[in-house]
């Protein structure tokens, strides 16, 4: 099992050893980094392509349809056909658009989505760069994608696109704060910002099975869903109101790049949630990389479930959920995590559970919508 667990690590070591026979030894670290970059750049588009296939299949099943089934076995060739179609479609640019920024926005949407894969531990000894501030790096780089969305909306010189871009910035400001605060609880419990050390700290107990960890996971997952513009938080591209939102004026491969950035960001967010709260690659019986992929794809299935089930929120509901519920709950969760660390064992768990239960009840009651007055009908005499 260990050989299967480390099969990708051994493959890289074999490649670097072969390269070392023709390359001077001081250049080997650069060759290792180039290998990591090449792997991420090659695998990321494949992940995106088959995430779209998975989403279309699952949503079709929820809606009593078949989904892609014409190209290849079970429609597995459909993402390839879609990619070829995007490459061959005409690139239409509005006459008054800023051509430079119109081109730069979709590229900027993809780059952060690729960069954040560098600090995700896909398995034991399977992280591109084990930064001691890897969690901070992930949060900082992942937030850049929203600016690409606003840039694309502004550069299009379209009111629909601009409204979508402005909504994106509003979501960034609203949901970045509770998401970061939910991560602070994990940092308090582990004392590190390294994603690898956080996984190792969950060897005996996944943080999801602690009172503060369950709440932090919920806050992080909902906030990450909003950051990735996924249903029910997809107001920046609300087709019922603003045509297609920020990418209304995009076509061909530029549109595909926005799509790719969204799916990769959502997948990376699920990977980080698995790392922080579900033990990362920890698990019995299977190789570590298999456990990580199972947990990540399981969380992505929940995102697809959201899309097939939940209606889109209104703007006021979107903002209210972030500022009136998730933010105060995240602040209290930090206190609960501190109690759990200060009083190890069942005492800290009970204190954290009691504090969070009372806080959640108060917030639910405080944010409950007012009851509607009974209608009185007056009929003409």
Alpha-carbon span 318 to 324, nearest angstrom: 10
What is the model's pLDDT at position 381? 66
Residues 255 and 156: beta-carbon distance below 8 Å: no
Alpha-carbon span 279 to 165, nearest angstrom: 35
Residues 6+ apart with CB under 8 A from 256: 83, 86
What is the pTM assigned to this prediction? 0.90
**For the stretch 59-94, what's the b/e string if a residue is b when 16 or more beta carbons lie within 10 angstroms of its beta carbon?**
bbeeeeeebbeeeeeebeebbeebbeebeeeeeebb
| Cα 167–Cα 172–Cα 178 angle in degrees, nearest 5 | 130
Residues 49 and 79: beta-carbon distance below 8 Å: yes
What is the model's pLDDT at position 72? 81
Strands, E assignment, the chain = none
Q: Note down pLDDT in tens along the chain; length 381 residues.
A: 677 888 888 888 888 888 888 888 888 888 888 888 888 888 888 888 888 888 888 989 888 888 888 888 888 888 888 888 888 877 777 777 778 887 888 888 888 888 999 999 998 888 888 888 889 999 888 888 777 877 877 777 777 777 777 777 788 888 889 999 999 999 999 989 999 999 999 998 899 999 999 999 999 999 988 888 787 887 766 655 666 667 777 777 888 888 888 888 889 999 999 999 998 888 888 899 999 999 999 999 999 998 888 888 888 888 888 899 999 999 999 999 989 888 888 788 888 889 889 998 998 888 887 777 788 888 876
Tell me which residue has tokens 């990580």.
292
Residues 177 and 210: beta-carbon distance below 8 Å: no
Distances (CA, A) of 127 to 77, 88, 131, 270, 289: 30, 36, 10, 16, 11
Alpha-carbon span 277 to 186, nearest angstrom: 8
Task: Map 155-171 to HEC letters.
Answer: HCCCHHHHHHHHHHHHH
- State whether the Cα torsion 281-108-142-153 is positive or negative: negative
With CA atoms as reference, report the closest residue to 355 among 376, 332, 373: 332
Q: Give the domain ranges of the chain.
A: 90-366
With CA atoms as reference, report the closest residue to 3 among 351, 247, 294, 288: 288
């Amino acid at each position: 099992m260990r050989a299967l667990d480390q099969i990708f690590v051994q493959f890289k070591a074999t490649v670097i050893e072969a390269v070392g026979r023709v390359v001077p030894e001081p250049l080997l670290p650069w060759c290792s980094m180039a290998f990591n970059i090449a792997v991420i750049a090659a695998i990321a588009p494949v992940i995106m392509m088959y995430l779209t296939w998975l989403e279309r299949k699952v949503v079709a099943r929820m809606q009593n349809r078949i989904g892609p089934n014409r190209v290849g076995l079970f429609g597995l060739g459909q993402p390839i056909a879609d990619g070829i179609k995007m490459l061959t479609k005409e690139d239409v640019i509005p006459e008054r658009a800023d051509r430079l920024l119109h081109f730069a926005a979709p590229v900027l949407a993809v780059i952060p989505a690729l960069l954040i894969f560098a600090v995700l531990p896909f398995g034991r000894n399977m992280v591109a760069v084990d930064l001691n501030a890897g969690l901070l790096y992930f949060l900082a780089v992942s937030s850049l994608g929203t600016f690409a969305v606003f840039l694309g909306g502004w550069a299009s010189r379209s009111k629909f696109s601009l409204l979508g871009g402005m909504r994106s910035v509003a979501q960034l400001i609203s949901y970045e704060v509770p998401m970061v605060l939910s991560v602070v609880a994990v940092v308090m419990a582990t004392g590190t910002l390294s994603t690898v050390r956080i996984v190792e700290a969950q060897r005996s107990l996944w943080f999801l099975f602690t009172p503060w960890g369950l709440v932090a996971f919920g806050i992080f997952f909902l906030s990450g869903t909003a950051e990735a513009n996924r249903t029910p938080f997809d107001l920046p591209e609300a087709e019922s109101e603003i045509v297609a939102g920020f990418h209304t004026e995009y076509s061909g491969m530029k549109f595909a790049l926005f799509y790719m950035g969204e799916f990769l960001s959502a997948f990376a967010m699920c990977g980080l949630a698995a790392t922080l709260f579900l033990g990362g690659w920890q698990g019995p019986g299977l190789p570590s990389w298999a456990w990580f992929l199972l947990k990540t794809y399981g969380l992505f299935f929940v995102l697809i479930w959201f899309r097939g089930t939940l209606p889109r929120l209104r703007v006021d509901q979107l903002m209210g959920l972030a500022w009136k519920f998730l933010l105060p709950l995240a602040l209290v969760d930090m206190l609960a995590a501190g109690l759990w660390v200060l009083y190890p064992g069942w005492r800290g768990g009970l204190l954290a559970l009691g504090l969070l239960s009372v806080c959640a009840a108060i917030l639910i009651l405080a944010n409950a919508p007012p009851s509607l007055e009974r209608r009185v009908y007056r009929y003409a005499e």
